[in-house]
Amino acid sequence: MTTIRKLPTGVPGLDIITYGGIPQGRTTLITGKSGAGKSILSLQIACNLARMGIKTLVLTIEETAEDLVSTADTLGFDLAGRVKDGTVILTDLTRPMDGPTHVSGDFDVEGVVHLVSDTVKKTGATAVVLDSATALFSPRPPEAHLRSQFYRLVSSFRQQGLTAILTAEAPGDYGQLTTLGVEDFVCDTVLVLRNLVDGDRRRRSIEVHKYRRSAHYKGEYPCTMTLEGLTVFPLDARQADDLSEDARLPSGVKGLDAMTHGGWLRDSIVLVRGPSGSGKTTLSGMYARAGAMRGERVIYYGFEETKPILMRNFAKVGLSLRELEAAGHLRVECRYPEATSPEDLLVELRSGLATFKPSLIVVDSISSIEHSTSERGFRQFMVGLSSLLREHSRSALLTQTIGTFLENDAAPPYLSTIPDAILLMDYARKSHELERTMAVLKMRGSEHSSAEHRMTIMPGGLQVELFAKQSPP
């Protein structure tokens, strides 16, 4: 079996779902409705090929060369630099706008074919980007003629051994892939970009619709447009090459480590579930503070309060974090999820992991994210979050607000399978006060107490009584 040679795209996550990138010497078609990100993705790939030393010819039909350079460089692609050093050859094929267009005779792509052939011979380019095929075939010729001309265009690229990237408009998010209707039998790879309305917000996704002679990830994957271009989230459970440490980390809560037989396992995801007022945020602060005081790097993401209020509240209960943040061991980031999107939050998490390199991450709370997006968007966020944590082998504590367990509040089933450990916090009214409790529901890879223990909130945080709560006779 012939092995397909692939060229990495440089697009975060895309080379994972394509198992290595786009096929060398073949044609890749990028489709999607207007605003899906086709032009940006094609430019992003073109500039990455150029950085690898692959001379790339870019044919722009919908936008002027100046606009294309401006767009690319706003996203940090440095297209102007690539044009200057000759690794990108930018050719403007936009039609003049000053006057009507008169059409006579049959549509013919031979002019474009000869232009590409001559440019390749002069420059040594081995890749070509054409944005877009829809604009090239406008006004649209009869279907049979269009198919033969499109086939002629793609065949010419193949004959010259060019790695080609074409963009084309889609009539809808699903169904027919392009308004041309010619992609299935000609192009080796088809990437579909979507920008769907999901509830009250838009959600971007990408799908490898087709990849001849190559395995690839199936289905749609979330993606987002950042200040550095497109980012794809493979939702993969890849783990770092090194085995997870057989070590434990203290929780920071007196009595809790006895319940878990020595502390949380390193590189584990802990989900803390409980009603409002049960002490989840206090527990999160103690977890973060304990890690920072050990000299570890910790990122605390708060989604329910502003940073000044959060820091003040921690200081009031004797859990000041300001000194630890000033020392560089702790970073506290607070925002409301409604002001962003789950995909952008994943980008921020990925950036934080790459730049700050924390060993512990706190997310308080995932319920705020759940309420700001659709069920599908939240599930993808949770799977994406866990895949990032697994990939980088990081320990994390997540909180979730639910009703009291007496109300039998139900959580989505997948929220019970993602974390390695689940800690339940609850309270009940007893006489003139609340009786708070804590219990370890599950803890993979470790023995743990299965009893429900009393817990109190006092200056300095939480404290768990080491004897189990007695059930009524």
Map tokens 């309270």 to a residue: 427
Tell me, yes or no, if 63 is annotated catalytic: no
Euclidean distance between CA atoms 191 and 177, whole angstroms: 10
User: What tokens were used for 218?
Assistant: 């199936």
User: What tokens were used for 282?
Assistant: 């206090």
Output the DSSP codes for 293-344. HTT--EEEEESSS-HHHHHHHHHHTT---HHHHHTTSEEEEE--GGGS-HHH
Euclidean distance between CA atoms 232 and 146, whole angstroms: 33
Euclidean distance between CA atoms 381 and 367, whole angstroms: 12
Tell me, yes or no, if 375 is annotated catalytic: no
The identity of residue 290, as a single letter, is A
Euclidean distance between CA atoms 454 and 442, whole angstroms: 18
Return the axis-axis angle of helices 38-51 and 65-74, rounded to nearest 10°.
80
**φ, ψ dihedrals at 416, nearest 5°:** -90, -20
Map tokens 């004797």 to a residue: 318
Euclidean distance between CA atoms 418 and 464, whole angstroms: 26
What is the per-residue burial (b if ≥16 Cβ within 10 Å, else e) of 359-380?
bbbbbbbbbbbbebbbeebbbb
- Which of 23, 43, 49 shows the shortest CA–CA distance to 189? 23
Q: Which one from 169, 207, 220, 304 is the annotated catalytic residue?
A: 304
Q: Which one from 62, 207, 220, 370 is the annotated catalytic residue?
A: 62
Q: Are 17 and 221 in contact (CB under 8 A)?
A: yes
Tell me how far apart the 2 most distant CA atoms of the chain are, in Å: 94
Euclidean distance between CA atoms 279 and 365, whole angstroms: 12
User: What tokens were used for 244?
Assistant: 């997870």
Q: Give how far the C-alpha of residue 264 lies from the chain's centroid of Cα atoms, to the nearest Å.
A: 27
**Residues annotated catalytic, as ranges:** 62, 304
